[in-house]
Amino acid sequence: MSKVWLVTGASRGLGCEIARAALDAGETVVATARRTEALRDALGSEHDRLHALALDITDAKAASLIAAESVGRFGAIDVLVNNAGYAELGFFETITDAAVRRQFEVNLFGTMNVARAVAPSMRERRSGLIVTISSVSGLVSNAGGAVYSASKFAVEGWMEGFAQELAPFGVRSLLVEPGMLRTDFMDQKSASFGSIDIPDYAEAIARYRAFVEEANGNQPGDPKLLAARIVALASHDEVPSRLVFGDDARQWAGAKVDQLRQEIARSVDRG
């Protein structure tokens, strides 16, 4: 039996690939982005199972209206893919307070808006899957990614607890933690950098920006493979609570686990 998917940030990148993979699997997809024109350009209009709607996820009322419209039209939202977001890259002190708050407004509070809009119908039906696109940067933080990681760490903490609250009602959760994917996530369409000039950081920032520019378009992870994996998992009765995707992500996450184990061991009071 086909499912109804609601995918945010579906006009490009991983969200677009997930929408395509779901359509290819015979599913009905409500695809959202800030502009419907971008959705039609990316996904076309030939699918009668594709429904493109404009949504800025920071608008809680708009998210509620789209959730209600989708449930009213199709009877249910079986799978929510909370994908929309962007990266505020750069060293923390070079990023304005307004930019930091905008990062959280989109990546955390916007994601919460959509989940809050969809979860009640899933609870009522005692069925549903919420897929939250996080990042390995939600597990591991590095210089140049402190603000972005902070927003994803927050998403991880919120969703880990929320998933446990939803589980008794038959609503499942999957946190997806990709490594570096070959999307436009690291270019200026998705990523932005600090605007405050601090000479002490100049050399390190130059190295970091060179790394980002070199990595952009050459990332090892294939978003099509991840999208196919997510769509396949959605058809299973049981899903893992987390999917760490990519050799780079598994290496970084594994190193973080090892570091935590060592620090926990050193924290034991032997006095």
The pLDDT score that the predictor gives to residue 209 is: 85
- What band does 99 get if pLDDT is binned at 50, 70 and 90? very high
Query: What separation, in Å, do the N-terminal and C-terminal C-alpha atoms of the chain show?
Result: 61
**Residue 212: per-residue pLDDT:** 82
- Active-site hit among 11, 152, 201, 208: 152
pLDDT digits (tens, 9 = 90+) for 67-97: 999 999 999 999 999 999 999 999 999 999 9
Query: How much is the pLDDT for 90?
Result: 92
Mean pLDDT of 137-148: 96
User: Identity (one letter) of the amino acid at 245?
Assistant: F
Q: Give the domains, in start order, of the chain with CATH numbers.
A: 4-266 (3.40.50.720)
Interacting residues of 230 by C-beta distance below 8 A, sequence separation 6+: 18, 21, 81, 131, 174, 176, 243
Q: 151 an active-site residue?
A: no
Of 11, 148, 173, 208, which residue is the catalytic one? 148
Residues contacting 89, CB < 8 A, separation 6+: 144, 145, 147, 148, 186, 191, 192, 193, 194, 208, 212
What's the helix, strand, coil split of the chain in %, to 5? 55, 15, 30
Q: Among 3-12, 151-160, 203-212, which stretch is predicted with the lowest mean pLDDT?
A: 203-212
d(CA 253, CA 74): 39
Helix (H) or strand (E) holding 191: strand 191-192
From the candidates 70, 134, 149, 151, which is the catalytic residue? 134
Q: For residues 201-211, give the mean pLDDT.
A: 89
Q: Residue 57: pLDDT above 70?
A: yes
pLDDT category of residue 239 using cuts at 50, 70 and 90 = very high
Calculate mean pLDDT across residues 164-187: 88
Percent of the chain with pLDDT over 90: 82
- Is 61 an active-site residue? no
Cα–Cα distance, 16 to 22 (Å, whole number):
10
The verdict on whether 134 is a catalytic residue reads yes
Per-residue model confidence (pLDDT) at position 218: 67
